[in-house]
């Protein structure tokens, strides 16, 4: 299996400088581009009118490859605005169609790290819930199984490290479904809201704290080649990520790389 990955902290990353925002490029060929999404940038244009990933990368591709006219870029999957990390986009309509098929068929691999308030009683677990999204408030809630309109939500989490003094846990999460705010809602419902989550952890987080959720791995079958695309990105070593030593992140990177081989 072919894989491409990089650590966001590495100096060797090529930089796609789109206007005022620098976006590290982890992988690029004729059909796909994989990047590190900075926190607090929407995946696509929204009502705020703020710069978004689709627009920024299109602008960069136009300038860097000196393309005339419109540049095609397909949004394959989304990351919530406050979430940063590995993200894949399609550069051709064929790439967009086939990667979208991978998403629908559950072949898009998504792994995240998060910092939780509290230390889970079980170091490893699978969470299965029924989520219902309220489009009016753009929030999701866990409801009883069989609730009309509810959708199954499944994720695995594993505690990588804890900080007992700060009552924080660093966890690795594998998503098996892609529901709105799924990680944040399910872990909050389990009793361990994410650090900085102002929506689902308002009772334990202070205003202004950055949501600690990061896309560490995004992968999918290449749309035209018989190989896998895998991109790896580690979170920035700022609070609360800096509560753990570099050794913890080195071990995580080595583990993710081994799993790709």
Extract the tokens encoding 11.
């100096």
Tally Cβ neighbours within 10 Å of residue 123.
13
Q: Cα–chain-centroid distance for residue 246?
A: 21
| Residues 40-51 as b or e (16 or more Cβ within 10 Å = b) | ebbbeeeeeeeb
φ and ψ of 63, to 5 deg? -75, -45
Q: Is 226 labeled as catalytic in the residue annotation?
A: no
Catalytic residue selected from 80, 134, 226, 250 = 80
CA atoms within 13 A on the CB side of 128: 3
**Cα radius of gyration rounded to whole Å, the chain:** 18
Start-end of H helices in the chain: 53-64, 93-104, 182-189, 246-260
Residue 138, burial from CB neighbour count under 10 angstroms (0-12, 13-18, 19+):
exposed
- CA dist 68 and 187 (Å) reads 46
Residues 133, 177 contacting (CB under 8 angstroms): no
Q: Is the dihedral of CA 247, 218, 44, 151 positive or negative?
A: negative
Active site amino acids: 80
């Amino acid at each position: 299996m072919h894989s491409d990955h990089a650590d966001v902290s590495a100096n060797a990353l090529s930089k796609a400088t789109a206007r005022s925002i620098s976006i590290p490029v982890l992988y690029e060929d004729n059909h796909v581009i994989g990047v590190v999404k900075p926190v607090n940038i929407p995946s696509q244009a929204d009502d705020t009118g703020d710069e978004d990933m689709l627009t920024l990368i299109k602008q960069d591709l136009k300038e860097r490859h000196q393309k005339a006219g419109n540049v095609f870029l397909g949004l394959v999957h989304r990351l919530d605005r406050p979430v940063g990390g590995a993200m894949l986009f399609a550069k051709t309509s064929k790439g967009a169609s086939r990667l979208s098929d991978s998403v629908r068929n559950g072949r898009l691999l998504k792994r995240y790290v998060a910092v939780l308030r509290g230390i889970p009683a079980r170091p490893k677990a699978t969470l299965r819930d029924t989520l219902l999204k309220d489009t009016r408030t753009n929030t999701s809630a866990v409801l009883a199984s069989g609730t009309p309109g509810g959708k199954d939500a499944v994720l695995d989490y594993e505690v990588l490290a804890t900080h007992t003094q700060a009552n924080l846990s660093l966890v690795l999460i594998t998503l098996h479904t892609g529901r709105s705010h799924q990680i944040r809602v399910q872990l909050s419902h389990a009793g361990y809201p994410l650090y900085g989550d102002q929506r689902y952890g308002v009772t334990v987080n202070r205003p202004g704290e950055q949501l600690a959720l990061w896309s560490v791995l995004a992968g999918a079958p290449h749309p035209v080649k018989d190989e896998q695309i895998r991109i790896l990105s580690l979170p920035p070593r700022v609070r609360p990520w800096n509560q753990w030593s570099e050794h913890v992140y080195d071990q995580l990177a080595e583990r993710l790389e081994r799993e790709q081989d």
